[in-house]
């Protein structure tokens, strides 16, 4: 990670965590009361150069399973309070600790699932040449309303055109998008359909 990018992350993240500490505690207590334990959702995701790390979020879904023990679809497990957390992006606040640790940056391609790694085209895989971010160029240009291919094109564009000014611009645009609650989910899905690969381009 470029040193200037890391310094920008710390300059925003440290005071940011202090400023939202009360909000953080309130959200955690509400999750405990409305959804139950655990409060945090943890999952392994690919980071810089696809190295895995543990990503943290506030929990938004129940652990409900069918009679065979398989988890129910996301749409059935996503609670009304969880939907609110996602709509306001409050569920992503714990990722600030990932930024503090250096696993993530404030701005960069969103960290997706480990199982997607062998589904990318070589060009799409280049999104891992920068640290993953809480927000990114794809998020301020459509978020989950975009197709996977469109998101990956924007991610690679960000990798090729990164600058501190671009990061500051994306952070400002993210605030606006969160206030407008745009692109939270893909049409017909609780979040986003699974990426199955763009094999025809390989």
The model's pLDDT over 119-160, given as tens digits with 9 standing for 90+, comes to: 999 999 999 999 999 999 999 998 778 889 999 999 999 999
Identify the CA nearest to 78 among candidates 63, 88, 99. 63
The model's pLDDT over 37-59, given as tens digits with 9 standing for 90+, comes to: 999 999 999 999 999 999 999 99
Structure tokens at 58: 């506030």
10 Å CB burial of residue 65 (0-12, 13-18, 19+) is exposed
- Residue-level pLDDT at 202: 40
Identify the CA nearest to 142 among candidates 151, 132, 134, 155. 151
pTM across the whole model: 0.86
């Amino acid at each position: 990670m470029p040193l200037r990018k890391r310094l920008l992350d710390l300059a925003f993240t440290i005071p940011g965590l202090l400023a939202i500490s009360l909000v953080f505690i309130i959200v955690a207590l509400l999750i405990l009361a409305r959804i139950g334990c655990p409060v945090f959702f943890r999952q392994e995701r690919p980071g810089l150069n696809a190295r895995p790390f543990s990503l943290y979020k506030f929990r938004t879904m129940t652990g409900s399973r069918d009679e065979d023990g398989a988890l129910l679809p996301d749409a059935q497990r996503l609670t009304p309070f969880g939907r609110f957390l996602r709509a306001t992006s409050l569920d992503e606040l714990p990722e600030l600790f990932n930024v503090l640790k250096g696993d993530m940056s404030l701005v960069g391609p969103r960290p997706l699932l480990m199982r997607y790694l062998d589904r990318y085209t070589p060009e799409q895989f280049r999104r891992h040449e920068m640290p993953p971010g809480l927000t990114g160029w794809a998020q301020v240009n459509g978020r989950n309303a975009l197709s996977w291919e469109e998101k990956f094109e924007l991610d690679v564009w960000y990798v090729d055109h990164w600058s501190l000014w671009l990061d500051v611009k994306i952070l400002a645009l993210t605030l606006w998008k969160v206030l407008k609650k745009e692109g939270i989910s893909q049409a017909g899905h609780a979040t986003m359909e699974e990426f199955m690969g763009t094999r025809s381009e390989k």
